[in-house]
Chain A
């Protein structure tokens, strides 16, 4: 039972990172970023592959996050010409491409069979293989992510990013480059998504492409909407709610072929109910056009 609670708490910290990083591109920059799950996947695969060739755990998740960050920057480049919904389409396309590559480049990613035997994390000679040790580490990483994004949101950069979300031309006439704002914010969002992805992969020690489909993006999106756009504290509360939401299903005597779809259904239903009843979430103040 203790192991079960610890694993839930670890999932909360990892999903908090996933959703905090989505807050940067969706909440602050205002783009429906379907690429988010792909940035998580890139961080997960890159860090796992690095770990498997002997790169130390800490370095491999940082490198994974950095590779993901570079993709984040590249995906946002078309924003110079494309506005809002069109950039969302680009991120959707990117997400599908990453999934197809993970599925088919078997030589690198293991294809549908996935990557197994990802080394258990170790840091400064201390094994993080036990849940309690891993929880301490993942909590530390999620807290750092929170503090950095919180700090950023209070800087002129954070304000300018929100200005560009509210009105792109209005921002440009003040002499502020929205191109810079959007590309840097996507890179940043992808960095933390990749960091979360690396943590996730090393926690479960086995990844395959089915973990990074768009339906895996729904719970993260639900967290951000439930918590309220740009509300980082609301995001923590929402993460706890969303991670725990499908858990009671576990205690019903249902076969696993029912539980999986039921989980996904519960997230989608939650998202739908939210959008109808409380579109601005727990603490959300932001009104998008």
Chain B
């Protein structure tokens, strides 16, 4: 793939994926701009999470190209893609249930944890170049007092928030969030939205899947609508709100 416009952090070209006889994603072209919040929306089964899983390296595309910062990432492993700068919040809970909140977050910050010698000799260095500490985020979400609590003992919403903070502090250039506010109390959803907007102001880039339309349309700069594996509309939240094709896709 040729070197692309530097304002595009992530680019998908003609990406397709089939599961048996079902075409989950059909020839999708997606461009994600730096420093923006882009939302990927669509009815259940539209192929949103499949697109996310292809970008994260959990699935490999049948066809098409995926490039991060102009370099192809197809065929790379999940951890390689994470280390290239994509932080991912997964759709279902993947918290480390026997570890404390602090331990969950430390692992996100420390990328050399799997290195046995660095670890046992005490020379593994946490990544400090984030401009935000996990503590600030924990304060925002009312979790600071629970830092040393084992994740098993948290409520569903609290676990989700810990996972969100974990994705935020994991060193990255692009943050991909799959339903970040699902199961989170409405009062806290606003906090999450504010936190994401603050991160973007500070230079972060967010790609988001979310079913809460009010939340999504209030924070997104750009919205991509998928239906049946295809991209049907791309536009600003105002444009999407009034587009007939979007209403048709949602209402069937």
A residues neighboring B (CB under 8 Å) = 151-152, 155-160, 162-163, 165-167, 169-178, 180-181, 184, 188, 285-287
Contacts and interface: CB of A to CB of B under 8 A. Distances in A.
A286 B56 CA distance: 29
A157 B119 contact: yes
B113 A169 contact: no
A174 B107 contact: yes
A165 B96 CA distance: 8
B96 A156 contact: no
Given A155-B119, A157-B116, A181-B114, A176 B79 contact: yes
B166 A174 contact: yes
Interface residues of B, number: 37
A174 B170 contact: yes
A159 B116 contact: no
B79 A177 contact: yes
Interface in B131-178: 150, 152, 166, 170-171
B170 A159 contact: no
A188 B2 CA distance: 45
Interface stretch (B30-38, B87-95, B225-233): B87-95
A173 B150 contact: no
A167 to B, nearest CB: 5
B72 interface: no
B110 A156 contact: yes
B94 A160 contact: no
30 contacts: A155-B122, A156-B112, A156-B113, A156-B124, A159-B106, A160-B114, A162-B99, A163-B99, A166-B95, A166-B96, A166-B97, A166-B98, A167-B96, A169-B94, A170-B94, A170-B95, A172-B77, A172-B79, A173-B78, A173-B79, A174-B108, A174-B166, A175-B111, A175-B170, A176-B79, A176-B111, A178-B79, A178-B114, A184-B114, A188-B116
A172 B120 contact: no
B225 to A, nearest CB: 26
A286 B58 contact: no
B95 A167 contact: yes
A153 to B, nearest CB: 11
B244 interface: no
Nearest to A289: B97
B82 interface: yes
Nearest to A175: B82
A287 B97 contact: yes
Given A173-B90, A181-B114, A163 B96 contact: yes
Given A166-B97, A172-B77, A174-B108, 11 more contacts: A159-B103, A159-B106, A163-B96, A163-B107, A169-B78, A170-B90, A173-B56, A176-B111, A176-B113, A178-B79, A286-B98
B107 A184 contact: no
Contacts of A157: 113-116, 119-120
Contacts of A181: 114
B50 to A, nearest CB: 15
Nearest to A180: B114
A176 B88 CA distance: 13
A167 B110 CA distance: 17
B43 to A, nearest CB: 25
B83 interface: yes
9 nearest A-B pairs in the assembled complex, by CB-CB distance = A170-B94, A157-B119, A175-B82, A160-B113, A156-B113, A172-B78, A166-B96, A175-B83, A155-B119
A172 B95 contact: no
Given A156-B119, A160-B114, A181-B114, A176 B94 contact: no
A147 to B, nearest CB: 12
A180 B83 CA distance: 15
A162 B79 contact: no
A151 B78 CA distance: 29
B79 A175 contact: yes
Given A172-B78, A176-B111, A156 B106 contact: yes
Nearest to A167: B94
Contacts of B113: 156-157, 159-160, 176
Nearest to A152: B120
B163 to A, nearest CB: 8
Contacts of A174: 79, 82, 107-108, 111, 166, 170
Contact of B82 (A151, A163, A172): A172
Given A160-B114, A163-B96, A287-B97, A151 B79 contact: no
A251 B228 CA distance: 75
Contacts of B122: 155
A287 B166 CA distance: 22
Contacts of B108: 174
A286 B99 CA distance: 9
A158 B110 CA distance: 13
A184 B87 CA distance: 25
A175 B77 CA distance: 9
A53 B30 CA distance: 68
